[in-house]
Structure formats: structure tokens, C-alpha cells
Structure 1
């Protein structure tokens, strides 16, 4: 119960729980002590549907004990397990802990499988059918949500099959990206570039670099404004893998292409994040996943040795 923003809600939940249990006991005691004066025929005097009469019999003893046992079980459960606000319980059980225990158990069972791949390079694993089958499942479970089941990505999510890598496509670079994640930021540049017309002219120059449809006159006017971009993308506009700055000459557009798309990026900037996977995957799993991702653009996945 660590998601409470302050102690009030922890006390609030614990209070409602305890009051609910006490109310059940009070109800049981009051009901057990209440005496109804019965008529001579042992009925309460209540009549329904003309001839249905309520007998004045006590509650069955087995029902009473089941009720008491249920309340006692509830109290013992709350003592052992979390249920009273932020109280963790004597057993120190949690959903996160149970999940981590299951993951550790699964990883231990799979360790012999991954042991076979530890001495193999990414290039060798990319040619091994078993390694690629494992890598494909890891990819589907951890990467496909963003990059797609075919790894071709979508707007804002890189295509992993085309050989265009923002941070480098060598196995070491891919492994670093998977392990540590990436945070890429394109800062707003409109104030540096100049007027809205200057931004638009620069957008056309950027489009001209890759041979995309553009206005040649606006591109010529925007060429001088590219100095604001050259620090990251290079004077040749071919990008910089150390900074994650994309190549602007290859006609691959991560966030969409066209005048308005580029104007929006220059004006407002762009922030992208690839989450780190080192807390979800073991080092051996990361090695296999690295080989699978590398193989998507460098070799035919699933090839046998």
C-alpha cells in the first residue's frame, strides 16, 4: 500500500476496515441478545401473503459460529497480510514481491537454456535458430508494444529493420540501448532560427537534403539557417550517433515528414524516451535480445548454424 500520497489515506482505509469488522461483531451480538415475545404458537406475529408466519426460532448455532470464524479469520488475515492502510503485515507479503519471486523462479529454470548462448557473439546468435526463437519471444513481450510485432515501428518509434540507427547499430550500441535506455531531446530552435518565415525556409532546406519534395527558392533561403542545426546534425547533416542526432539526408523520418511536421519540430522541439530494460531482463536475456534486434537488419533471423 505504498501508493498513498499522505498518511491520511492510509489511516482512512485502515479505519474503515476496522470499523466494518467491529460493526459485524456488534450486529451479531445485538441480534443474539434481542428477545422477541412469541405468541403461543411460537411465531413472531408477522404474516405475509395471508398465511405465511415467521417462527421465533434462534439463529442456527452453526451459522453463528461460521460468522464468528469469518470475523476471526479476517482479523488474522489483516495481521499477517497488508490490508490496513500502509501496514505491511507480519508476513511482509506484497504483489511486487510475489511477482519478483515468480520471475526469479522462472529465470532460474531458464538459466540452463541461456547458458548455451553465453559464449556466443551476437553475430553467431543471429544465425542460431534456437537463440532467435528465444529472442523473438523476448522481443514480442518487451519491445513489440512500441516497435510493432514486425519491428518496423511507427511514427515516433524507430524501425529496427532498416539499418538506420540513431545511436549506432553495432551490437554493443544496441545492448547499451536495451540495458540503459535512451533519452533523446531536440530542443526548440525557433528563436535561434529567426522569424516564422525563416523556420519555414529552413524546413524546406531540410527536406531538400534528402531529395524530398520541397520549394527550391525557400530551401535556398533557409540554407544559411542550418547553422543552428549543424552543431548536432553535422555540417553535412548526416547526424551524430554520439548525440542520437538523426541523419537528415536519408529520407527516413521518425516523427513524420513534410513542411508542417518539420516546422513543428523546429518550433517546439521533440522528446523521446526508450525505457531501460535492465530491471526486467537478465544480462543473458539482454544478450539474446541484442542479437535478435541486430539480426533484424543485418542477417536473416532464424537461420541455422
Structure 2
């Protein structure tokens, strides 16, 4: 708050307090010339008379005490512009203290699981329940309560991992996030293969999963040449992808953004930009480890039950 606004608040508060005190003083006593109660000539029902009489002294004193309390409250807790108050209290400070206390309790709860391997955590029912709870609070917004994802959000319950499915790779994804970028190749491909170039590439990409589609397929044959010139750098010559850069395997039949022709054309022409936010600061190491163990367990139920790490 700037000094000008701070003084504005201080003057406004002081004016209101002094105004309330003056009003109490002005109306709290009779003055010379005021009519006596019986001189008002205002009667109702024969025995009800309007009196011009101040409020009782105990009532007036109660208001003065409230004003004094309000002044003390403002001086102690701060309420006069940017004045911090004698008690050095702030809502931010109170929140920080409450958060520190809550974090200490959470730390005690999660302490037994610190630095534990993910397969071991996945084999522990208590740890798995904690991981499921953390997932529901943090991850389900994007990946769904069943972890099966949606268009643009990966299915975490299958065995397909664009960034690698080894336990430590999953933990790294949760802690530090991922950013997958598919560049827009529409203009480049059109310049190389004409106006049907994108459709050629779509035909070849679909044939990577089913080689039978390559037989007598002119479009797929044209698409292979374009693929080898543009796409092979990320997805590999065999289309198996590259987990180090998040390039998906094009032979497994899983399409993050949809497998219909319109979706594939949009992906190739305009590109895609997917971001998995980093959760290290939000969850911390141990909670991230627990939720990563839960995610890993979804596609390794047998291995999780035995607490063993499968071949990577």
C-alpha cells in the first residue's frame, strides 16, 4: 500500500472513531433549554408519554468501552493503513504458522515412506491408500478419478508410457513435470510432397501398426518417404518413439489426441503442446513418491503385490 493510500485509511478510521465518540457525547446528556419529559405533549393511549431523555449512563459507557477496545484492537493487530501493529500480527503470518504446523503433522505421517522404492510402496496397502488419496486430490482433475485420462491427458492405467514407465522415470515425471512438443509440420510437408502430403503421412503412420496396410498402398508409400525426411528424427525409423524426449510410439495403437483422420491431421499440421506440471514444490519428495507408486501400481498389479521391480 502506498503512503498516500495508507494515510487515507488512517484519516478515514480516525474520523469515524472521533465522530462516533462526539455523537455519544452530544446525545448523552440533557442541555439547558431542552423540554422536560412531561412538556413534550406527546401522549398515546392516555398513559404513554414521549420523553426527551438521554440513554442510560451504563449504556453510554458501554459504547465508550467499545470505542476504547476498537482503538486498542487497531493498535495491536494493525488496521491503520500500512501500520503493522504492536502485536506484529498479519493474516499471512498466521497462515504461515498454521501451514507449518500442518506440514509438521503431514511430515510425521509420511516419514515411514521417505526414500522407499516405488515397488515396495506399491506393495504396502497403507502407502497405496495414501498415494490414491493424493492422486484423487491432485491428479484426478486431468487424468480422471480412474486414471484413464482423456483426449490430451494420458491414460495412466495401461502399460504405455511416453516418457518411460520405469518407477524412477514416473517419479521424475511427477516431481519435475514434462513438456512434450510436437512441432507443426503442415507447411513443411506440403512443400515437400504437395497438398496431400499430410494425408500420405497419416496413411504411413497407420501402416506402422499394421504392416499389411503397406501392400499396394500408394499413399502409405509416399508417406514413408515424407516420414523418413521429417518424423524419423523423433519417432525413430521404426516408429517406436523416444522416451527421452517424450516422442510417442506410433506402433502401439494409442493416440493421445485421437486416432481419427481429422485429429491426426490437426496433430501433424498444427502440432501439439502438452505440459505435465512439476509437483515437487506442491507435494514434496515423499508425497510425490507415494502418488508415483500408486500410478505405477495401476499397470503393474502383479509386481506391486510382490513388491518386486519388473524388467525395465
61-70 or 258-267, which deviates more: 61-70
Instruction: Map 1:109-124 onto structure 2 (within 5 A).
Output: 109-118=105-114, 120-124=116-120
Tell me whether 1:152 sits opposite 2:148 in the alignment.
Answer: yes
Give the Å deviation of 1:110.
4.2
Q: TM-score, normalised by structure 1?
A: 0.77
CA contact (8 A) 2:115 2:286 kept: no
Tell me whether 1:206 sits opposite 2:205 in the alignment.
Answer: yes
In structure 2, the CA distance between the partners of 1:225 and 1:302, relative to structure 1 (3 Å rule), is closer
Structure with more of its chain in helix, by fraction: 2
Greater radius of gyration (CA): 2
CA contact (8 A) 1:38 1:44 kept: no
CA distance in 1, matches of 2:219, 2:178: 34
Q: TM-score, normalised by structure 2?
A: 0.76
CA contact (8 A) 2:202 2:265 kept: yes
CA contact (8 A) 1:233 1:239 kept: yes
Corresponding residue for 2:162?
A: 166
In structure 2, the CA distance between the partners of 1:194 and 1:69, relative to structure 1 (3 Å rule), is farther
Corresponding residue for 1:4?
A: none
Give the Å deviation of 1:282.
3.2
In structure 2, the CA distance between the partners of 1:152 and 1:26, relative to structure 1 (3 Å rule), is same
In structure 2, the CA distance between the partners of 1:107 and 1:223, relative to structure 1 (3 Å rule), is same
Give the Å deviation of 1:200.
3.6
**What is the aligned residue count?**
296
In structure 2, the CA distance between the partners of 1:57 and 1:118, relative to structure 1 (3 Å rule), is same
Corresponding residue for 1:55?
A: 51
Give the Å deviation of 1:273.
1.9
Q: CA RMSD in A?
A: 3.8
Q: Deviations over 1:253-281 (max 9, x none)?
A: 22222122122222332222222222222
CA contact (8 A) 2:38 2:49 kept: no
